[in-house]
Amino acid sequence: METQTLLNCISIDYITITIRNMPLEEIIMKMGLLNINFKNVKGHNFYRDCMTFSGMNFLYNGLNSNMGICIELKGTGCRAFETFGNGDYLQLLSWVIDHEENNCTRLDLAYDDFSGILPLERIRDDAIAGNYLSKCKGGNIRQGFGNQDGLTVYFGSRESEFLCRFYDKSAEKCVKDKIPHWVRCEIQLGKNLTYNTLKDITTYDDLKATFFKILNNYLRFIEPFNNEAGNKSRDSIIADYWSNFIGIYGKMSVFSKKGVQYTEENLKKYIFGQAGNALWTFFQIYDVEDFFHELERIEKKDKNPKYYDLIKKFESLNRVGVKK
């Protein structure tokens, strides 16, 4: 029997978000999970109750009234959301980006390599030799998954805001006889680093580009460097295997301070980046009058204060006329 070829891929592998402006029933409906037979169990993280199914946890009834609903999708939960729900991560992430009362406390992105582009032993050797540039604090190497000959290389720690790890996924899953090379590169972002990442994903809808821009900003493997030859961070040469892996992508800082100002550019990126295709489709079906008619229907609904702040800014510059 011919073995199926596995293609390298990038996925969201863990996400935790808190929603405070939507009831649990509406969240379940919008995620396409109405037909799921959830199990009711005891909650955690200061929530009294939890609905759970295949790695998807919906925590509710918090100890404080403003705790809202916590959506926790683990690795299996992300795959379950894609299989049994609508898998609409853009909608899920936009709930955080468009509403300041909501937040994301953890986001994991994973690259699965089946082709051999990530040489795990070389990564280990370069880590030990110091052949890398990194913003991560600390790191370690672990060998073995039970009786399997598994290897994991960590940059950062679970307690830090950024963690990157490379590990032998085929050893972890005990499938080396079927999948000889399955190396995963996984980045884990904490609460203070998720906002810019979510914004980039929802704006450009290009998970691959987002993943590599973050990774390139935090970690680079280099050819062996003689410190007497110059400045390591400025004069070093990127290792061939890392250059092939990262490709053409630049860097993206994922740190942002609270209260990031919402600008005209943010507005345009959302409309023409995330919603651009939807708008184009709408105008192929309906005319301009229909569009403004639909806008009138939502005009009286509560809106995020950032929109009013942007309008006030343009009013002060005499660049916009707003209906009173």
pLDDT, the chain, mean = 84
Token pair, residue 104, equals: 């994301």
pTM of the full predicted structure?
0.74
What is the distance between the alpha carbons of residues 17 and 95, in angstroms, rounded to a whole number? 9
Q: Is the pLDDT of residue 74 over 80?
A: yes
- Greater confidence, 305 or 89? 89
Residue 76: its pLDDT value, please? 94
Q: How confident is the model at residue 260 (pLDDT cuts 50, 70, 90)?
A: very low
The tens digit of pLDDT for each residue in 178-226 reads 999 999 999 999 888 898 899 989 888 889 999 999 999 999 999 987 7
- Greater confidence, 190 or 310? 190
Residue 205: its pLDDT value, please? 87
What is the distance between the alpha carbons of residues 154 and 322, in angstroms, rounded to a whole number? 53
What is the distance between the alpha carbons of residues 162 and 185, in angstroms, rounded to a whole number? 13
Return the domain boundaries, the chain: 1-10+114-187+207-250, 272-316
Q: CB-based contacts of 79: which residues, under 8 Å, 6+ apart?
A: 55
The tens digit of pLDDT for each residue in 237-251 reads 899 999 999 886 666
181, 107 Cβ separation under 8 angstroms: no
What is the distance between the alpha carbons of residues 95 and 18, in angstroms, rounded to a whole number? 9
**Torsion sign over Cα 222, 225, 229, 233:** positive
Q: Is the pLDDT of residue 275 over 90?
A: no
Q: How confident is the model at residue 255 (pLDDT cuts 50, 70, 90)?
A: very low
Residue 31: its pLDDT value, please? 96
